């Protein structure tokens, strides 16, 4: 029985690690030699993706349910918000209108969905989509609104970075700090 249990746990562990290896932003790629609007925004997305990847790596149910006060969001609710922001950012690049609706998703779906949305945006930036011509379009309480791409930078991109920092803080407070080998300055995890 012990052998079976050990084998089952090892298979589960391998599957979880394989799923994590498939997700983008485990590290930040090489930087471009050229400064352009697209390269700068792509690097912001790269940094956000890397931070989010490691902020959400190995979260437990205790971490996901943690909230610093009765009136604040839990880590899971914060992850739901970050996912919605990633959809908003992606829709900006796809020319779609964002309407704030969101299906209930598991932690794994939120994490994978957020990272994959950011990867799609990153890839579109590398395809040289002209960010100066993009608009954030949203439907807020039945009102259709449009904003220039500048608002993506100080809006959903910056907000996602902010809330990713909250996840790091929340997990530390719940007793599960981020991997100390994560180095956001160089974008690599030091082994």
What pLDDT does residue 8 have?
Answer: 46
Going residue by residue through the chain (191 aa), what tens digit of pLDDT does each one get?
555 444 444 444 444 444 445 999 999 999 899 999 999 999 999 999 999 999 999 999 999 999 999 999 999 999 999 999 999 999 999 999 999 888 999 999 999 999 999 999 999 999 977 898 899 999 999 999 999 999 999 999 999 999 999 999 999 999 999 999 999 999 999 98
| Nearest-angstrom CA–CA distance, 184 and 48 | 10
What pLDDT does residue 191 have?
Answer: 83
**C-beta separation of 107 from 171 below 8 A:** no
Q: Which strand (E) or helix (H) includes residue 148?
A: strand 143-148
| Nearest-angstrom CA–CA distance, 76 and 46 | 22
Using the 8-state DSSP alphabet, how is residue 116 labeled? H
What pLDDT does residue 47 have?
Answer: 97
**C-beta separation of 28 from 188 below 8 A:** yes
Domains and CATH numbers, the chain: 36-189 (1.20.120.450)
Both tokens assigned to 69: 């006060």
């Amino acid at each position: 029985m012990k052998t079976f249990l050990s084998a089952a746990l090892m298979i589960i562990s391998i599957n979880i690690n394989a799923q994590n290896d498939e997700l983008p932003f485990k590290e930040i790629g090489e930087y471009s030699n050229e400064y352009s609007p697209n390269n700068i925004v792509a690097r912001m997305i790269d940094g956000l993706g890397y931070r989010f990847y490691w902020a959400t790596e190995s979260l437990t149910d205790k971490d996901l349910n943690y909230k610093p006060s009765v009136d604040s969001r839990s880590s899971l609710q914060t992850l739901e918000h970050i996912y919605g922001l990633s959809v908003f950012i992606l829709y900006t690049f796809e020319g779609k209108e964002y309407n704030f609706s969101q299906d209930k998703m598991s932690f794994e779906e939120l994490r994978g969905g957020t990272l994959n949305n950011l990867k799609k945006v990153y890839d579109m930036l590398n395809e040289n989509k002209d960010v100066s011509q993009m608009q954030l379009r949203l439907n807020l309480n039945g009102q259709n609104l449009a904003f220039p791409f500048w608002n993506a930078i100080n809006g959903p991109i910056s907000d996602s970075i902010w809330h990713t920092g909250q996840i790091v803080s929340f997990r530390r407070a719940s007793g599960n700090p981020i991997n100390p080998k994560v180095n956001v300055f160089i974008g690599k995890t030091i082994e």
